[in-house]
Chains A and B, each alone.
Chain A
Amino acid sequence: MSTATEKPRQQLDEATVRFCGDSGDGMQLAGTQFTNTSALAGNDVATFPDFPAEIRAPRGTKAGVSGFQIHFSSRDIYTPGDTVDALVAMNPAALITNIGDLRDGGILVCNESAFDKKGLEQAGYASNPLEDGSLEQSYKLHKVDMTKLTRLAVEGLGLSQKEADRCRNFFAMGLVFWLYDRSLDPTLRFIDAKFGKNPDVAEANRRALKAGYNYGETVEAISTQYHVGKADLTPGTYRNIMGNTALAWGLVTAAHLSKRRLFLGAYPITPASDILHELAKLKNFDVLTFQAEDEIAAVTATIGASFAGEMAVTASSGPGIALKGEALGLAVMTELPMIVINVQRGGPSTGLPTKTEQADLFQAMYGRNGECPMPVIAASSPADCFEVAQEAWRIAVEHMIPVFLLTDGYIANGSEPWRIPDVGSLPRTEVKYAEPLSNGDVFHPYERNERLARPWARPGTPTLMHRVGGLEKQDITGNVSYDPANHQHMIETRARKVELIADHIPLQEVDGPESGDLLVVSWGGPYGSCATAVHTALAAGKSVAHCHLRYLNPFPKNFEQILRSYKKVLVPELNCGQLLTILRSKFDIPLVGLNKVQGKPFQVGEILDRIHAELEG
């Protein structure tokens, strides 16, 4: 920011900020704006939005608290941070539920006016923590009457009090922007774009934002400004991207480069709906989004679109995937290419709809009737979703098979800087349909190539008329067959077909030494925490390495050998040990799990502590 400030400015390597307040307080917006601004300032960023399942729980209650955490750094980072350096609490409920994560000596900004009798009671405070001196002992407390200051800032615009109060989050943003020396420009641009049609509201938000910023600059109680420098990122053009957006864009990219229409069959469900929302915006890419009547219709329509010869995808979360189970058996039987996305959330049943978990791995691996294996791959970070979507399509087409793609709420809603790829360098999956036959030849829809893939015969192609379905098929001809030997042969063939994919995926890489005392094996969202923990342990001279799996079925061919190269293997997962159980069933190797099912991602410290314990034990 160009404004000269007389206050001292302290350089930091990194910082973690959390905005928290009532779900009506606009905390997700504040967090997103701060994230984009930090990314634009050249930081590496990682975010963790955390919101309640209720859209509007009673105002001021603990159930209604919504938070957004941003970790920004001048170094490479992989997680949104374990503890928070600065916490903005818009009300007592937000304070009481979040204060535990603020580090000792951290900055605490509280909206003083919300700490009235009712607010304190709702949060369960016996006395006002802003007044009893308890907070000052551990934190740098700033009591700011944001409500009053915001109302003053927007005075004269003719806004109602309610409308004026709605600008409070911009005041809070302005203050934090000053605190961390961030430019207001991106947010001012955002205000123009978002509220341009409503000039008074736009002006009010601008004023509130600037008032917050100026407050930081002028108020004496806030003595220091902080600055986190640019990260040393690989040269290129970057943007900040959320997991679900990256996934949607990866799908569009795959379809576009394959010159296929993209069909998404979906039924709204948290946290997968944003994939539908993103794709619905991209109609000019020849994307057809079909909001079905339920998940069964979504997946069966997807099967129909795949049979029609286009790129077909269905996206949901655990409960929806459960409904799709029977149809996925049909997809496996018909050996049609498609992608099935599960953005996992806390289960079982409705579980914790807005929280993250990795407990649907068994569902993806085994959740269908009969012997019904499917390839399974998983994304490791928001930006990785872009690549994984394209890889899922490659496998689906090259092996004529439905592919399970797993992400989770943490990846889906989290964001990080994404180096925009050169379109020309992106992998292209070539779609080859079966060609019409010359006179008299008979088409064999279940004839297989060396990958055991059958031909994709597009309706409309003369001479290739054929019927598929859920009844067991005779190999080669595809005719219905009840023959016992054929059934066994087909079951083995479908299993073998999945196994053969291992010949066509990259070998597994390991981060750290090729052998040693401890290997950390992870998949999905915990990638960042595990990578950071292993890097920290390595820096401390420990004999530890990290193996993060993208391919869960089949495993890369060298995976077993990797597992055997370490004295101990630790498998951290946000479930009760699902990958662990699969590994135990496949490999006769001692393994230990680190399991957490609290609807929250792993903290780096949790993994690191366990690494130390395993190395000592």
Chain B
Amino acid sequence: MRLRDIFQITEVSAHCDLPCGVYDPAQARIEAESVKMIIKKANESDDPDFRTRAIMIKEQRAELVKHHLWVLWTDYFKPPHFEKYPQLHVLVNEATKLAGASGTKGEFDEAKADELLAKIAEIDKIFWETKQG
């Protein structure tokens, strides 16, 4: 019998929430506005070098949108928030999909960027409602 079988093992946490506790959906919104503007400028340009740079930068910005939304989802929003706003899980999923390969990260569709901004605005509204309570 190994030593660890003799005793029950207790899980002890060496991690917790971020110490700063500062969250704001504005981070995701600003990156999403960058994505939208890059799409607009790339669509207006016929310079292949510019379009190549635009693709690279747009992918970075779209990745940041996903990152900031996931931080809100995993670190800021707590079980009582998800109880009060049952649509929140789906909303974050849809928003991050719009920032992903099937959305603004993979395409040059300004309408997709507007959809993304609208989803972030919905998350932002819920976020500030939770701050009231």
Interaction A to B: no
Interface residues of A (CB under 8 A from B): none
Interface residues of chain B, those whose CB is within 8 Å of chain A, are none
